[in-house]
Structure 1
Amino acid sequence: MNLPGRLSQDDSQDVVGAILELFRARGDSGYGHEAVTQLEHALQSATLALENNAASELVSAALLHDIGHLLHDLPDDAPDQGIDDRHERVGFHFLKSYFGPSTYEPVRMHVDAKRYLCAVRPGYHDSLSEPSQVSLQLQGGPMNDEEVAQFEGNPHYQAAVDMRIWDDTAKDPEKQTPSLDDFEPHLRRAFTTKA
């Protein structure tokens, strides 16, 4: 699928439309070894953000946090092959062109939020699914004290932690969610608040 290049602020229809189309075209791919697809995982994450009264920018971040998986061409089982797909970086670089920091920073930080929580929250590591534990090792393992302090120094760190918790629980094949189209207004609001 061809995604738009850099578009102006007036072209939100094209950006948001391209994002929705990307999910329609590639969202049925597997979410690692979890029991949900990429789209189901994204919708569940965004639904949890809504249930926690998050602003549209963070709801959009929750929906888009794994968009990097849809933008690269690596196989679904890349972590099993010892490959860190760096999806958070791919997603961040794409989103930074169109959204503000309240959306793209939690996306950039969501892998580090897992590393952070493993370092500061007893029992968190054991609560992770097996695929998340495997990918954690590829992503650097739990943070050290210096990394924890640096992470907490980012003004978006709490949003990234909240989103990480939603990410961790958004793997239920039975969970009912709003449709992808129901999140379009949140994406448009987040796009128009880019600053």
Structure 2
Amino acid sequence: MFPPRRHATIVIDATQAPRIKEDEMAGLDVTALFEARGDGHYGEAVTQRDHALQCAGLASRAGGDDELVLAALLHDLAHLAVPEGRETAERHHGHHGAALVAPFVPARVAWIIEHHVAAKRYLCAVDPVYLRRLSPASVHSLAVQGGPLHREDAMAVATHPWFADALNVRRWDEEAKDPQAKTPPLSAWVPLLERYFGPQTLRRA
């Protein structure tokens, strides 16, 4: 049984990573963020919620472990927590998302979330075919995020033991934009979310 829930308060400033008030860090209601803002679009043909669910589904079907699936599900969580329409939010959403979940998840999950933008920039630097396949919205965000990585930066980040995981999440990220895709509902992931974040508003499937 879970202890009585104390809702964590997310403190938002678009110039900084969202943070959680230290005296209320009993858990984080991720499903409430999706319920409140997950129906918004971000320049693609799918909602934020559908994009996250498709990405998690792709990770699961590819045989990803729970940490990798969780990172795929939450890689864009900062878009739900940081005010829209801010270039800062787009440029740093990986960092913001990692800061938001870091108190609750294994370091690997937070690292993947933080570096999935670097993974995109890396792939665009080393794989011309990948770059040509980006959606128009993804091309725009690439420019905001700094464009393809320079060679030295690409070589440095590629040596990290979790970078292959970030590359996988970024590939699923680009693929998870199909308006016709069928995915399990968010409630299907509640058991996984509750393992790390505590009780969620949304009930289990």
TM-score range, shorter chain: 0.7 to 0.9
Deviation at 1:187, TM superposition (A): 2.5
Measured after TM superposition, the shift of residue 25 of structure 1 is 1.0
Q: 1:88 aligns with which of 94, 104, 111?
A: 94
Deviation at 1:88, TM superposition (A): 1.0
* Cα distance between partner residues in 2 of 1:181 and 1:164: 23
CA distance in 1 between counterparts of 2:23 and 2:119 reads 30
Q: After superposition, where does 1:1-195 map in structure 2 within 5 Å?
A: 2-3=9-10, 5-6=21-22, 11=26, 14-15=27-28, 18-30=29-41, 32-75=42-85, 78=86, 84-189=90-195
The TM-score, its normalising length taken from structure 2, stands at 0.81
Q: Deviations over 1:67-89 (max 9, x none)?
A: 010111123xx56xx97452111
The residue type paired with residue 32 of structure 2 is: E
Supply the AA of the counterpart residue of 2:139. Q
Q: CA RMSD in A?
A: 2.3
8 Å contact kept, 1:42–1:66: yes
Cα 1:7–1:121, aligned 2, differ >3 Å: closer, same or farther? farther
Call closer, same or farther: CA 1:189–1:128 in 2, change over 3 Å: same
More helix by share: 1
Shift of 1:27: 0.4
CA contact (8 A) 2:123 2:130 kept: yes
Q: Number of matched residues?
A: 182
| 1:123-152 C-alpha deviation (Å, 9 max, x unpaired) | 111000011011111111111111111111
Residues 143, 161 of structure 1: alpha-carbon distance in 2 compared, 3 angstrom cutoff: same
Contact 2:78 2:94 (8 Å CA) reproduced: yes
Question: Normalized against structure 1, the TM-score is what?
Answer: 0.85
Give 2:13's aligned residue.
Answer: none
Q: CA deviation at 1:54?
A: 0.6
CA displacement at 1:190 relative to structure 2: 5.0
Cα drift, residue 174 of structure 1? 0.8
**Aligned counterparts of 2:58 and 2:64: Cα–Cα separation in 1:** 9
| Identity in percent | 38
Supply the AA of the counterpart residue of 2:159. G
Structure 1: 5+ residue stretches without partners:
none
Mapped partners of 1:190, 1:53: distance in 2: 20
